[in-house]
């Protein structure tokens, strides 16, 4: 007989708190490389980040490049210009440079940290797209981070709609921080 939320007629879904290195070991490393349709990443800061993939540590960008080559769309929304090592890794990723399946925008107002996989799984929390946030860094060298992993369809749909609004520049029309934007999504002049 069902107990808890299920017994009360609520839809149950996976909603799991991940702390510190668990963001990497429970979501980024095992799940992100398995994306079949798309990966959306929203982050404030963006730096060099490695993950263990196929027995070696590789730049996340190399994994994303491989996904794009397999037909997976990748969307990256970030607030800051990437660090130098990230840019160096990016320059080695032909699919990310040439494919229309890779989309990237910069919005200085973005402070959200989220990863959405195939519209079926999401991670939302404090960690930026950095080695110390979501990467394979040693437990004693990482940031103190927290996040929730979920497969709740309603939450993911709402998050995806919101990310689409960011990506399409819906907020550009009324943005009062335009003077700080190096690459406006929409020209509203």
Residue in 9, 12, 1, 35 with CA at minimum distance from that of residue 150: 12
51 in Cβ contact with 79 (< 8 Å):
no
pLDDT (0 to 100) of residue 133: 94
The third-level CATH classification (topology) of the domain covering 14-171 is Endonuclease; Chain A (3.30.870)
Pair 77, 167: CB distance under 8 Å: yes
pLDDT tens string 112-169: 999 999 999 999 999 999 999 999 998 899 999 999 999 999 999 999 999 999 898 8
Give the predicted TM-score (pTM) of the model: 0.90
pLDDT for 99? 96
H-assigned helices in 70-142: 84-90, 94-98
The whole-number pLDDT of residue 1 equals: 45
């Amino acid at each position: 007989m069902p107990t808890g939320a299920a017994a009360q007629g609520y839809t149950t879904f996976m909603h799991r708190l991940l702390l510190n290195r668990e963001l990497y070991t429970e979501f980024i490393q095992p799940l992100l490389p398995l994306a079949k349709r798309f990966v959306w990443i929203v982050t404030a800061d963006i730096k060099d980040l490695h993950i263990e993939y196929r027995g070696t540590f590789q730049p996340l960008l190399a994994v994303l490049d491989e996904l794009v080559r397999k037909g997976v769309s990748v969307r990256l929304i970030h607030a800051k210009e990437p660090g130098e090592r990230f840019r160096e890794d990016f320059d080695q990723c032909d699919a990310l440079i040439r494919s229309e399946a890779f989309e990237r925008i910069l919005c200085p107002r973005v402070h959200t940290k989220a990863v959405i996989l195939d519209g079926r799984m999401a991670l939302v929390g404090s960690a930026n797209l950095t080695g110390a946030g979501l990467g394979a860094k040693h437990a004693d060298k990482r940031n103190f981070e927290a996040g929730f992993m979920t497969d709740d369809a309603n939450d993911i749909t709402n998050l995806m709609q919101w990310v689409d609004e960011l990506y399409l520049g819906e907020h550009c029309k009324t943005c009062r921080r335009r003077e700080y934007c190096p690459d406006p999504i929409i020209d509203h002049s």
